Structure 1
Amino acid sequence: MKNALILSLASCLLIFSCSPVKEEFGTEISTDASQILKGKAVFEDQCSTCHNFNEDAIGPNLSGVTRQVETSWIRQFIRNPQQLFDAKDQRALELLAKFKTPMPGFAHLSEDVEAILSYLHTFETLPLEISGDTTSNLIPEKVVDSGVRLELEFFAQLPPSDTVPPLAKMTKMEPIPGTDRLMINDQRIGIYELVNQQPILFLNILENRPAMVSKPGWATGVGSFAFHPEFETNGLFYTAHTEPGGTKPSDFGYTDSLAVFMQWVLIEWKAEDPKAKTFKGTDREILRIDNSTQAHGMQELAFNPNSKKGDPDYGLLYIGYGDGGTAEKRFAGISNHQGAGIYSSILRIDPAGKDGKNGKYGIPKNNPFAGEQGKAGEIVAYGFRNPNRLFWDREGQLFATDIGQHSIEEINKIEPGKFYGWPVREGTFRINPYGSFRALYPLGEDDAITGVTYPLIQLEHDETVAVIGGYFIPSGVLNGKFVFGDIPSGRLFFADLSQAIPVVQTWGVIFEGKEVSMKSLVNHDRVDLKFGIDGKGNVFIMSKTEGKVYRLKLD
């Protein structure tokens, strides 16, 4: 969920702040000016989404860390935190307990680690623990285990696109509409088709779009894809990917005082032969949006699978777009829709239209803000930090999972034109986007006048720290239930979304006759959980860690 790139280093200051400092740390760190400037650039590129020098954010306040912790420990933690977790290192385990999710190792930074240390060492002020942290035990009811255990079977393996975990970065696996052709992405490469459970590279987006970048990781690269409901005849499908900030002029941006780190690009591809196993055809750029960080961008593309030809929703492309990290950068007005912005929203466009902002797409007339002065007509609903998955139930109701900040994960029932709270609400709690993100407050008695629509399901971070949406189970003991999970830990949940107040329960898996946790299944402390579905409704569990896909055996 979050880019904790130099994971939770400064919390150890809090852990050991009661003991007098007996040693001067950081004396060996270079103070060379060029080294510091290099470290500043790397930090802003790799780390600033999650860390600052004022307060704990997604990761901890790093001010003064190099003066309180051994340099060798910091260096090791950046490069391979898992090694310290495995060794039961006290500091590492305390950090994990506080910030809930481990970070991946960053051995690839190489000599850049020394530059980062030089930059960190310029901050002498030690962080102080802020009393009154209100982000614990906000929801007293705990999720209980249902006792349901479903059997898994190995289904497919994507080719490794890196030598260290995550070995393959799949985020989505869905069929081409109306067919049994099963497509899956690797964020670093493009789209594969699984043929007889074997991957065949259908489209190499990196080769076609050499400006594409998939580092520093997490949400970057090929974020999502969607095939047109008439792909078999028109050959059209759509992808979202990232390019460096400033690659080309954008269609949507923000204030010049906030740097553009990346751009999300929406591409329409047209296959000459829709039945071909390898793409050959044409493409065109539809939309380009500036993003202030590598996080919370164009995470989802989808067509309503229940819509039929002639329906008002047919052929319209839904886009889940987060706040781009603008709230963490203290530009909350961008995600709070000051002006006709499109951030923190679920969008819907007509790829065949021409009346959009750049003339390359259309704005559906049934969009709630179409034609309204001062509003972006592309928006269906807004107020989301990171609407990473969109999905429809059997009756055609739209839902979205939304990854929260420090405290609350959400599943929202989407109604056109509604405001879902971010960045002034996290779940059913007030938040000050210009204050501490770790402080949440009860709703006021007059809250109804704010017009916020609150989540159908909210879970605190002691249950899940990065929610990922799955699918509705078609048969068996969980028939009709919606399954979803926690990205880092792989913890599995289900709920009946048709209920006014759904009850959330956990479930587990059995592999090769033995009940296993997802962490043990993927041989890693970070699961990077994702879900998939095929043309028959079979549901799959995927893990980026090893690049493997598992099928649920429902009957």
Structure 2
Amino acid sequence: MNFIKSSLLLMLCGFTVAGQAQKKAAPTYSTNKLIIDRGDALFQKNCAECHNFRQRGIGPVLSGVTADASYTYLSKFIVNSQAVIKSGNKRAVALFAEYKIPMPAHPQLKPAEINALLSFINTHKKAAEVYVNTAELGAPVKDPIPTKIAKAGLTLKLEEWATAPATSTKKPLTRINQTYVLKTPTGNRLFMLDLRGKLYEIKDKQFNVVMDMAKEKPKFIHEPGLASGWGTFVFHPDFLKNGLLYTTHTEKKGSAPADFAYADSIPVALQWVVTEWKVKDPAAAVFEATPREMIRMDNPSAMHGMQQMIFDPTLKPGMPGYGLLYLDFGDGGSGELGYPWLCNGSTEPRGSILRIDPMGRNSRNGKYGIPASNPRAKTGDPTVLGEVYARGFRNPNKITRAPDGKVIVSEIGYTNVEELNILKPGLNYGWPTREGTFVSVLAGKKSAIYNLPAHDDPKYTYPVAQYDHDEGNSVAGGFVYTGDIAALKGKYIFGDIVKGRVFYVELADLKLGQQAVIKEFDLQFGDLKTTYPQLVKNPKTDMRFGLGENNAFYIWAKTDGKIWQIKDCVTN
């Protein structure tokens, strides 16, 4: 999720000359297809996470913006938006207050790139207002969760543990996203994934490349970011015997026919691919592996792909459910882009968590199995996807199984609410008609959320903890602490990707139908007590969590790649 980068045009649509008194410069937008295509690529890389041309999102709708502001002023805003805001432009200041995301300067964008970007945006004219009858819903909710997250009076003491290799010369220096401890008879192996295509094994704090997706898959891409790249990996429970490894990654659109495609009137930004790898020697320092493609899916944007896979680690061979793979499918941005039928429908996998049997072959494409115990496997309707275990998710970025058996899914919200959910088979978690414990109405610039009706639809299941965008912008899923620090036992530790705040809820308080209280830790990095954005000197922290050997709990920022280990928790 690249929120600061993609916030490039956050207040763009509101940046106009005060009073419209000043004469606009003559348009210099290009109509050259090659330039516009280049602008499209720049938009996908820098803007698409926060903006589109149909619905308001993390930032405003951009359709028609080039008719509202001059080329000269828009160019200045892109190069140094914060300077424009500081100049006191009323519209820009108001939009900054509304959307709450800081925007860095972008002097690295060359004039030709700005021209391409604006030329592409110029092809999207002001859209007609979408009429939605919301009379029965009352007034839109402006402040979804008025109660602020309180400090817990606890400080996490963090010790620098290691630094991941930089995979870029620009921030974020790394895109490290996941750790995995593989238990073997001769000792544990610790792996870490960088979304830019590197799978590392960490030995004595040294990062050794085990697999390079770019070498394995020539059509692999990790741009434009936004969680694209090598999404996730997981070892089969019998990996040491069968050598099976599972991965997700992105490829260019049209790389191969998709198992889950859609009408050609809807754009395809990229494809997500699920692959099973047969590793020749599971004990090898570098994996030599043969791939078998299982699933290929078209996505209408670079957002919300396949970011997590897990097996149930509590099951043993022969037990029901052993060897079944849980895989999250985000909505691909289809909700806010105006294609809600591509998610949360009986015929579509997007916006769902699937449960499949990698050893089976009764799926539509014959490359994996649909467990008979899945909630939709026995409907008898060939249009219903039996692999869907639960649905109604926008961006279920992390899944973890807690020691008490709960499966916790962190769900990145749209413009209002971040969620923690308890995964149960057959449930519908609401998106795109629900966001948090609110009704979601996607209607262009008039998109908003509303309080639930007095007689709510019983088919929806709501989060067990949530916070709104006064507190943060993108939830970072975490884990239940299982180490030796008494003050942390029984706490699910998570945070906010953008603001770098670290939160917790008590695991015992996570119950369907209730809202657990979220509290915030203070942070001490070595001897320095500070905030994460101040530490990394960047308004977007890009924070993640991981587990290591001996119940080690790690926190890091992609921004600088430094990995910190929780060493203690003290009362303030």
Q: Match of 2:51? A: 51
Distance 2:268 2:425 in 1: 30
- Aligned-partner SS, 1:171: strand
Task: Report Cα offsets for 1:331-364 as digits up to 9, x if no partner.
Answer: 1112130x42111111111111111221121112
Query: 2:409 aligned with 1:418, yes or no?
Result: no
Q: Match of 2:532? A: 518
Q: Match of 2:403? A: 394
1:468 to 473, 476, 492: 476
How many angstroms does 1:150 deviate by? Answer: 1.1
Query: 2:61 aligned with 1:61, yes or no?
Result: yes
Query: 2:29 aligned with 1:22, yes or no?
Result: no
Moved more, 525-534 or 98-107: 98-107
Aligned partners of 2:392 and 2:432 also within 8 Å: yes
Query: 2:522 aligned with 1:508, yes or no?
Result: yes
Distance 1:302 1:109 in 2: 43
Task: Report Cα offsets for 1:199-233 as digits up to 9, x if no partner.
Answer: 00010011111101111112110111111222222
1:342 to 343, 349, 352: 349
Distance change (3 Å), C-alpha of 1:101 and 1:222: farther
Aligned partners of 2:173 and 2:559 also within 8 Å: yes
Query: 2:166 aligned with 1:157, yes or no?
Result: no
Q: For this pair of structures, how many residues does the alignment match?
A: 549
- Aligned-partner SS, 2:286: coil
Q: Match of 1:246? A: 254
Q: Match of 1:113? A: 114
- Aligned-partner SS, 1:493: strand
Distance 1:106 1:314 in 2: 53
Q: Which amino acid aligns with 1:482?
A: Y
Q: Match of 1:225? A: 233
Distance 1:362 1:285 in 2: 14
Aligned partners of 1:266 and 1:287 also within 8 Å: yes
Task: Report Cα offsets for 1:83-132 as digits up to 9, x if no partner.
Answer: 759x956567655433233467593677332122234446676999x9x9
Query: 2:187 aligned with 1:188, yes or no?
Result: no
Q: Match of 1:489? A: 499
How many angstroms does 1:257 deviate by? Answer: 2.1
1:176 to 182, 192, 195: 182
Q: Match of 1:201? A: 209
Q: Match of 2:135? A: none
Distance change (3 Å), C-alpha of 1:163 and 1:78: farther
Task: Report Cα offsets for 1:168-209 as digits up to 9, x if no partner.
Answer: 101111212455211111111220111111100010011111
Query: 2:145 aligned with 1:139, yes or no?
Result: yes
Query: 2:480 aligned with 1:479, yes or no?
Result: no
- Aligned-partner SS, 1:367: coil
Aligned partners of 1:157 and 1:548 also within 8 Å: yes
**1:279-318 equivalence runs, <5 A:** 279-318=287-326
TM-score normalised by length of structure 1: 0.91
Distance change (3 Å), C-alpha of 1:514 and 1:196: same
Aligned partners of 2:12 and 2:77 also within 8 Å: no
How many angstroms does 1:542 deviate by? Answer: 1.4
Distance 1:161 1:22 in 2: 47
Calculate the aligned-residue CA RMSD, in Å: 2.9
Q: Which amino acid aligns with 2:153?
A: G
How many angstroms does 1:15 deviate by? Answer: 6.9
- Aligned-partner SS, 1:327: coil
Task: Report Cα offsets for 1:282-336 as digits up to 9, x if no partner.
Answer: 2211111111100011111111222222222221111111111111221111213
Q: Match of 2:329? A: 321
TM-score normalised by length of structure 2: 0.88
Distance 1:120 1:312 in 2: 52
Q: Which amino acid aligns with 1:401?
A: S
Aligned partners of 2:374 and 2:389 also within 8 Å: yes
- Aligned-partner SS, 2:341: helix
- Aligned-partner SS, 1:114: helix
How many angstroms does 1:246 deviate by? Answer: 1.1
Moved more, 416-425 or 438-447: 438-447
Aligned partners of 1:4 and 1:58 also within 8 Å: no
1:358 to 353, 365, 382: 365
Instruction: Mark the runs of 5 or more structure 1 residues left unpaired by the alignment.
Output: none
Aligned partners of 1:7 and 1:78 also within 8 Å: no
Q: Which amino acid aligns with 1:490?
A: G
